[in-house]
Structure 1
């Protein structure tokens, strides 16, 4: 998904295809406003945070990625952002989507996250993806929410040389406790958590051709554990 506020093109499935203008200029980050609340939220509902990938240099918002290791109850690695919610997204006035959000991505239990492995894009691309998406709405004055799909470039390219995924969709996380979906900070701020689900080209084409519901039916059959 990208945005051009002057016009919209619609896919065969009825989804608006939005294109970005130029990103905003570099600006210093706001600072980790809700880091403690988000960290506590993760540990209450998902399990202990094993490690955190801290940004050395940040633009507009400081994005950290928290790592939750596999457990007997949920045998997958989970990465969760903090910092995306430091600023509100530029949500449209005609609807009422969440203005503050963070992201979670699920990976196989043997995914390599040591520093040497992460020098290889084949292992690093999920971190690059989730950090880029977390910063995107603030750099482009747009928003991300339920059912939004984002191709990896235009035309879309695989995230890494040996990876077949070339896009993703944002969905409510399924394999988490219901209480994880939102985090109330105060009366004016509630953070929604969205799952980032990588898509194959055929899945992205299905969404554009037949709509989000058809894609969700396929994902539920093929990759439910990663939602």
Structure 2
């Protein structure tokens, strides 16, 4: 995982020898996540449930398109079932999201869903954390039909700032982070030259958390 300041690649080893039953969300947290999604991202149209989960549940809420947000948001519900292993001053609770075009009705086999689930489990599997501007290279395109070969974790920019944090009634705050898919050359830029270089390229290209499956590389 490439850390936030672009200081190189950290490689982690799993802290677990095999299957670890998931720590589920409290009912208060599950309700807070769903209410937050419906308030800021759109009505939840359906949920991609997990029935047997390792470490944390990684259910995915899928919103329907609206006039204001004419695409679907995909949001994990379960990553925050365990705290991440974080440095001092970093919130240990997070969920992750991305979007897909309105015509796409995601299933568990679709690569954006698989990536969300992978990222939701990663900090718990490896005893680390996921935060803004961490990048997660995949090494190769996620599928033969997509050019994307990694993601960068970024703040959502198409919503109000208050949408970036989910507040649970017990006082817990859960960061809601976006996963922005990257082409191989963009992943390499982040690793080689750091966060600021990638941010400048993404800003210049108008790239946000709104996934365009046909987006060309900003560097080729």
Shorter-normalised TM-score: what interval?
A: 0.7 to 0.9
Asked if 2 retains the 8 angstrom alpha-carbon contact of 1:167 and 1:198, the reply is: yes
Instruction: Identify unmatched segments of 5+ residues in structure 1.
Output: 3-9
Q: Which residue is equivalent to 2:176? A: 193
Q: Which residue is equivalent to 2:156? A: 173
Q: Could you tell which deviates more after superposition, 200-209 or 104-113? A: 104-113
Output the CA distance in 1 between the equivalents of 2:208 and 2:130: 22
1:196 partner SS: strand
Q: Which residue is equivalent to 2:128? A: 142
Output the CA distance in 2 between the equivalents of 1:189 and 1:126: 27
| Deviations 1:46-93 (CA, angstroms, capped at 9, x unpaired) | 121010000021011111100112222122211001110111100023
TM-score normalized with structure 1 length: 0.84
User: Which one of the candidate residues 116, 141, 162 is aligned to 1:130?
Assistant: 116
Aligned residue-pair number = 207
Q: Which residue is equivalent to 1:19? A: 11
TM-score normalized with structure 2 length: 0.86
Output the CA distance in 2 between the equivalents of 1:59 and 1:147: 26
| Deviations 1:118-177 (CA, angstroms, capped at 9, x unpaired) | 65xxxx01000001100111111111001100111xxx0110011111110001111112
Output the CA distance in 1 between the equivalents of 2:105 and 2:45: 13
1:180 Cα offset (Å):
1.0
- Counterparts in 2 of 1:1-227, with a 5 A limit? 1=1, 14-24=6-16, 25-33=18-26, 34-93=29-88, 96-113=89-106, 124-152=110-138, 156-186=139-169, 189-226=172-209
2:149 partner SS: strand
Q: Which residue is equivalent to 2:214? A: none
2:34 partner SS: helix
2:182 partner SS: strand
| Deviations 1:88-113 (CA, angstroms, capped at 9, x unpaired) | 100023xx222100001011222242
| Deviations 1:167-218 (CA, angstroms, capped at 9, x unpaired) | 1000111111222111222565210010000100111111122221121122
Asked if 1 retains the 8 angstrom alpha-carbon contact of 2:70 and 2:102, the reply is: yes
2:70 partner SS: coil
1:221 Cα offset (Å):
2.8
Q: Which residue is equivalent to 1:5? A: none
Label 1:209 to 1:16 Cα distance change in 2 as closer, same or farther (>3 A): closer
